[in-house]
Amino acid sequence: MDAAPATYTVQQMADKLAAFEEILGNRPPYCSGSLPVSKDNLVLFYGKEYESRRLDFSGAIGEDHLEELAQFCQPCRLRREDQEGLGRTVPKGGKG
């Protein structure tokens, strides 16, 4: 049995929104920019099963290395309720 939706007075809703605003502050709901990273943390390990590779992003990386990385990549599986798909094949925003 579904529970009935909660009902609030205007004042209760204003109080809840004020508490929410206090937590978030006057900032956008995302972050951007850059962070300093040491050279030791610029290595990406990737591979399948017993075949592993590494890319060191502290220096220049050739096109051939990036192409090899792309070949190892697979589309991620997305799942929403009873639907499953690859990449953007699952409908967005509840559209069937």
Answering whether pTM is above 0.85, one says no
Tell me the C-alpha to C-alpha distance, in Å, between residue 59 and each of 17, 40, 45, 62: 48, 12, 15, 10
CA atoms lying within 13 Å on the CB side of residue 83? 13
pLDDT of 63: 92
For the stretch 30-63, pLDDT in tens is 777 888 888 888 999 988 888 888 999 888 889 9
The two three-digit tokens of residue 7, written as one number:
């009902």
- At residue 64 the predicted structure's pLDDT band, cuts being 50, 70 and 90, is very high
